[in-house]
Amino acid sequence: MRHRTLASSPALWASIPCPRSELRLDLVLASGQSFRWREHSPAHWSGVLGSRVWTLTQTDERLYCTVYPEKEGRGGRPTPEDLKAIREYFRLDVSLARLYSHWGSVDPHFQKVAQKFQGVRLLRQDPTECLFSFICSSNNNIARITGMVERLCQSLGPQLIQLDDVAYHGFPSLQALAGSEVEPQLRKLGLGYRARYVCASAQAILKEQGGLAWLQQLREAPYEEAHQALCALPGVGTKLDENLPHRGVQPQRGQLFRPSGMHSR
């Protein structure tokens, strides 16, 4: 099976209204929030969301998506439930126009540079993927983090589908990350000292906190509670933890981002 483009298979795509001022795929998917999206065709981004493989693209006014079957087969057009998942992932219920207007009114620097960064928003990621990707991000850069996360998924995650010469894998489960032989395996994959923290945090969540349900419920917890809980995990320092509640483990308290070039003063 090949990666789709909107031009090559239009019947297998669905769309929702979404102007570029509310979402720029090229800025958001390559911004260092998620590390699992690739631009395999011009302006077409493919990656894993909810244990399924998607390709996304956009026009000036609409966001288009197609989702691949879990096993080899042609598959069908995305369903309303699929479109709901995309809306939730990009938090399209949040109006960037209103936020940009407010921020610009209280911050002249933001007002000055915001025109260069229209459509930058936070993703609502899977809590497990969010947490362990950001443990990998310690003292690292986007290119190296992307490679680490990809090798982690290829080694420990379930294979989903192959498109062209690219094999897509789901993110590993807590159980897969907590295995007794995982740390040396992750060190061989280039995670270095982070390998110990990945394993120890997975083990702590499973043995001390009750598993995945605990991590998921932090999304609904007050910010301070989520902050304290995450700081208790091995390898999650204060700086790292300040990022997690905004990106997938806990609901946003207001959109917060700092893409390259939109620096603080």
The tens digit of pLDDT for each residue in 53-100 reads 999 999 999 999 999 987 665 567 999 999 999 999 999 999 999 999
The yes-or-no verdict on residue 258 having pLDDT over 80 is no
Q: What gap in Å lies between CA 218 and CA 165, rounded to an integer?
A: 37
Residue 42 pLDDT more than 50? Answer: yes
Check whether 27 has a pLDDT greater than 60.
yes
Please tell me the predicted confidence (pLDDT) of residue 126: 94
Q: Where are the alpha helices (DSSP H) in 22-65?
A: 25-28
The first and second tokens of residue 18, run together, are 């979404």
What are 90-134's pLDDT values in tens digits?
Answer: 999 999 999 999 999 999 999 888 888 899 999 999 999 999 998
Which is more confidently placed, 226 or 22? 22
Say if residue 261's pLDDT is above 60. Answer: no
C-alpha to C-alpha distances, 144 to 30, 155, 191, 239, 256, nearest whole angstrom: 13, 16, 10, 19, 24
More confident residue, 239 or 182: 182
- How far, in Å, CA of 152 to CA of 148, rounded? 6
Mean pLDDT in residue range 27-37 = 94
Residue 71 is predicted with a pLDDT of 67
- Region of residue 32 (left: phi > 0; alpha: psi -120 to 50; beta: else): left
Active site residue ranges = 239
Q: Is 50 helix (H, G, I), strand (E, B) or coil?
A: coil
Mean per-residue pLDDT of the chain = 88
